[in-house]
Amino acid sequence: MITEQHKTINWGIIGLGSIANKFATDLLTIKDAKLYAVASRNQQKANAFANKYKATKAYDNYEALANDKNIDAVYIATPHALHKENTLLCLEHGIAVLCEKPFAMNIGEVHEMITKAKEKNVLLMEALWTYFLPHYQYVANLIKSETYGKLLKLEADFGFYRAFNNNSRLFNKALGGGSLLDIGIYPIFAALSTLGKPNDIIANASFFNNGADSSCHITFIYNNNITASLKSTLIEDTKTEAVFYCEKATVKINTQFHKPTTVSIFKDGKETVKDFNYNTIGYNFEAIHFNNLIRAGKTESDIMTFEFSQQLILLLDKVRNIINLEY
């Protein structure tokens, strides 16, 4: 187990799509981390990715990467439906796993992953990068400390238009495609991380011809008439903001709230904008947190806890049940 304070963490990446490219780009900005190995089902793709990001090894199968004893941590960036299988493979080999959101397809799979991590005494964390971004931490702390009084209402959306393509992972129901699991998780995360678990859920959805959800409208209902109005859609561009209506001010995470952006605070008729001066894509923050957990010998994050990941997937499961979305 790595406990040296500045020990370089050797990373592996499984699944080499667009998110893996962003993660690898930001990994290069971390001085005490190295992209050591990458794996794809295609050797040519693995070689190209390794060359681009200066990885030492390029494998044409995930099992070979999991068997590499030089790897300390693996980032899993495969389609949603493969997260459980890929995570269990790496945990079985004693490798710490940072798995892309959603953690898995349902609560049963998440339980299985967490159980294996505990059995092997190996670090496992869901890679919901937004939780680690400074602007989101800032707003979460404002809400928790009730700086502007109690939170009365939340509105959060995530939407963009994409022409339907049955061959794209984004629309492939068998891979967990559709708006809810892919982007609806972010508004739901915003509600869970600030308001907690709701007392009741109202939801409705529209669907593509292949059965994947094209849009989803969700309302979380809490005590004292507090609500969270949440939306995800793949059929229109939306502002993709998170707006927190507090007793004494309104706090808005501006467009693309899930990634590096600014925060506006509206109080007494004035708007104050806080800029966090990001100079990376934003994936470095969760990677640095994960590196520190490894060095400290931790097997669970104190921010993205197992309990939080379980609550998040349970909410996604409940919404799916309400809108009759089955995978």
What tens digit of pLDDT does each residue of 40-65 get?
999 999 999 999 999 999 999 999 99
Given a cut of 90, whether residue 24 has pLDDT beyond it is: yes
Given a cut of 80, whether residue 139 has pLDDT beyond it is: yes
For residue 78, is it within any domain? Answer: yes
**pLDDT given at position 4:** 62
% pLDDT > 90, the chain = 96
For residue 324, is it within any domain? Answer: no
Domain span at 28 = 9-128+282-298
For residue 93, is it within any domain? Answer: yes
Residues 288 and 225 in one domain: no
Predicted confidence band of residue 2 (pLDDT cuts 50, 70, 90): very low
Residues 268 and 156 in one domain: yes
Residues 104 and 138 in one domain: no
**pLDDT given at position 3:** 47
For residue 103, is it within any domain? Answer: yes
The total domain count for the chain is 2
**pLDDT given at position 300:** 98
Residues 140 and 124 in one domain: no
Given a cut of 70, whether residue 1 has pLDDT beyond it is: no
**pLDDT given at position 5:** 66
* pLDDT, the chain, mean: 97
**pLDDT given at position 299:** 98
For residue 315, is it within any domain? Answer: no
For residue 316, is it within any domain? Answer: no
Residues 121 and 141 in one domain: no
Residues 140 and 270 in one domain: yes
How confident is the model over 276-305, as a mean pLDDT? 98
Q: What is the tens place of the pLDDT at every residue in 103-128?
A: 999 999 999 999 999 999 999 999 99
SS3 annotation, the chain: CCCCCCCCEEEEEECCCHHHHHHHHHHCCCCCEEEEEEECCCHHHHHHHHHHHCCCEEECCHHHHHCCCCCCEEEECCCHHHHHHHHHHHHHCCCEEEEECCCCCCHHHHHHHHHHHHHHCCCEEEECHHHHCHHHHHHHHHHHCCECECEEEEEEEEECCCCCCCCCHHHCHHHCCCHHHHHHHHHHHHHHHHHCCCCEEEEEEEECCCCCEEEEEEEEECHHHCEEEEEEECCCCCCCCEEEEECCCEEEECCCCCCCCCEEEEECCEEEEECCCCCCCCCHHHHHHHHHHHHCCCCCCCCCCHHHHHHHHHHHHHHHHHHCCCC
**pLDDT given at position 327:** 84
Residues 106 and 158 in one domain: no
Residues 158 and 226 in one domain: yes
Residues 99 and 46 in one domain: yes
